[in-house]
Structure 1
Amino acid sequence: MNGLTQLLPAVTFVCLWSTGFIGGRLGTPHADPLTFLWIRFAIAAVLLAGLALAAGSTWPRGKAALHLAVSGLLVHGVYLGGIFIAISLGVSAGLVALIAGLQPLLTGAMSGWLLGVPVRPLQWAGLALGLVGVILVLWEKLASQTGLPPLGIALAFLGLLAITFGTIYQKRYVAPGDLRSAAAWQYAVCTVAYALVVPWLEPMHVEWTGEFIFALAWLVLVLSVGAILLFFTLIQRGSAAGVASLMYLVPPLTALVAWGLFGEHLGPLALLGMAVTAAAVALVNRPARPAPLPAPREA
């Protein structure tokens, strides 16, 4: 039962997180990407602040507030900004998910240096296997995508770097605390930062269509509130490499959702990639064997 209790939040997080790329695809045709995110951050900050106040949560102060602000700007502000602009420029949701799927390898490479937590050989094998699985899932999409905008690709990679360093930064500097007030503070910081930047970068066009309102509501309630609280919980409980390895499951699930909603092709190669990816995540998150006890010495 304990294993199921630990597994359930991880599975739920992956299922929720994989819908973020689909929400971006639904919403960005009706609003400028950063304006879309600004509205999302503001609503999420208000909702989470209300939950924190109702629960009597303690609020971050001093260095804790500063560290949360830095990690929030990276994980939310820069990562999502890069992803949403890339999608709005014409990079497919599948290809953006593939680029973001490189995070586990990058996190694994950086964890030993920045966190002092070496990645075991079995974990490295799992990380490499996961990359193979992700490429198999999206190979057809990658091969068929022509005329890629260089700026969009560059911004997708910027988002990859941001969420990688943001995850490691939060694991290293942010002590466990109340998740509601922490997330509310991060979204509030991103809202203020976007208020200073977005009016200079975009005309802030929004079409309040039914599709846009649905995408906004989904991204706020399911992603910005539900998935992020789970993400914080997983970071506090697990290693940075282990948490990041869950991201390998996002591109396959994104491909599944896109197949169901938009009729995008999903062939045998993609199905094989999904199986390989699942095996890779199991390898990365496999607990290390305890060191054997020394043999008793003869009297």
Structure 2
Amino acid sequence: MTPSLRIRLIPFLFVWLWSTGFVGARFGLPYIAPFYMLVLRFAITIPCLLLLIALLRRRWVTWAQVPVQMLTGALLHGAYLGGVFFAVSIGTPAGIAAIIVGLQPILTATVNRLFFGAKISRRQLFGLFLGFFGLLAVIIGSQEISAGENGMLGLAACLVALVGITASTVVQKRYAGDAPLLSGSLWQYIGAFMVVCAASLALGEPWDYQPAWQLYASVVWLVLALSVVAILLLMYMIREGEVAKVTSYFYLVPPVAVLQTWVLFGESLSMISLVGCVVVVLAVALVVRD
């Protein structure tokens, strides 16, 4: 496999890994509170990254870079993951949460265009909007969406998640693009750990869990595959690519997640979902094509 081919495959490896987070959460959350699960996940991830930095002898971020990395982590891992987990835990339909967070590529492109003068071609803009409607079709076709249990608190949590992942992408690209990947990610998780600890304590979550192999397996997968490998791939893509192109790959995550839940849990996959998957793939191709 040539180096150029490996680089082209990185976004799709990231999409698959990121989508498995939904599967891992489904396995583990019945046995533990959502923010406490994130506390444990980040508490295990931090020493893993320390070990990797020591073994690979990677350089450290400068002290001047630390605050930006901690802010990125607080937004990406703390606000985004915390917001989604909390919203779903209080009864917000997962489909509604996914639709709100699915606005991230459009919001990111808008922020970069309005505040930083980033250029977005008409083809890319069309692809971003096409991807959102494809994503909407996937979600509508995969489950019944009802706003009956979606109170204002759940909506607010989803909006926090949307702002978190959007802001983290912009901050990382604009202000921390030259930060070392491993040590930068380490400080990101330190910032996120502080956020989820504070949220868990503020909500009075029990710092306990029900022993179950599903929980142990999900935590191991979420730490190694998501918190280490997927995040390093994301930071690499943000550093090397255009923000519009990188964020467009998030459109692929819900369709891939739907396919996995169909295979693993037997969830139905309607014709609307299949059409939505095809639309999403076409939309991403429009955005990333040179």
- TM-score range relative to shorter protein: over 0.9
Cα distance in structure 1, aligned partners of 2:130 and 2:61 = 39
Residue number in structure 2 paired with 1:124: 125
Deviates more, 1:188-197 or 1:103-112: 188-197
State, as a whole percentage, how many aligned pairs show the same letter: 38
Asked whether the 8 Å contact 1:95–1:141 carries over to 2, the reply is no
Q: Which has the larger radius of gyration?
A: 1
What aligned pairs does 1:217-228 form with structure 2 within 5 A after superposition? 217-228=220-231
Residue number in structure 1 paired with 2:202: 200
Residue number in structure 1 paired with 2:170: 168
Residue number in structure 1 paired with 2:159: 157
Cα distance in structure 2, aligned partners of 1:226 and 1:35 = 22
Residue number in structure 2 paired with 1:251: 254
Cα distance in structure 2, aligned partners of 1:190 and 1:104 = 22
SS of the aligned residue for 1:19 comes to: helix
For the structure 1 residues 179 and 171, does the alpha-carbon distance in structure 2 shift closer, same or farther, using more than 3 Å as the test? same
For the structure 1 residues 144 and 2, does the alpha-carbon distance in structure 2 shift closer, same or farther, using more than 3 Å as the test? same
1:242 equivalent to 2:245? Answer yes
Deviates more, 1:213-222 or 1:203-212: 203-212
Distance apart, 1:109 and its partner CA: 0.8
Amino acid at match of 1:206: Y
SS of the aligned residue for 1:62 comes to: coil
Distance apart, 1:55 and its partner CA: 1.8
Residue number in structure 1 paired with 2:180: 178
SS of the aligned residue for 1:148 comes to: coil
Deviates more, 1:245-254 or 1:176-185: 176-185
Structure 1, unaligned stretches of length 5 or more?
Answer: 288-299
Cα distance in structure 2, aligned partners of 1:284 and 1:35 = 37
Asked whether the 8 Å contact 1:41–1:187 carries over to 2, the reply is yes
Deviations 1:127-161 (A, max 9, x none): 01101111111113454435333222321221011
Deviations 1:153-202 (A, max 9, x none): 32122101110011001100003232111111111222234334422322
Cα distance in structure 1, aligned partners of 2:160 and 2:22 = 16
Deviates more, 1:50-59 or 1:167-176: 50-59
Deviations 1:202-248 (A, max 9, x none): 22231121111111111111100110000000000111111110000
**TM-score computed with the length of structure 1 as normaliser:** 0.90
1:274 equivalent to 2:249? Answer no
Asked whether the 8 Å contact 1:30–1:208 carries over to 2, the reply is yes
| Total equivalences in the alignment | 287
Amino acid at match of 1:240: V
Cα distance in structure 2, aligned partners of 1:265 and 1:207 = 30
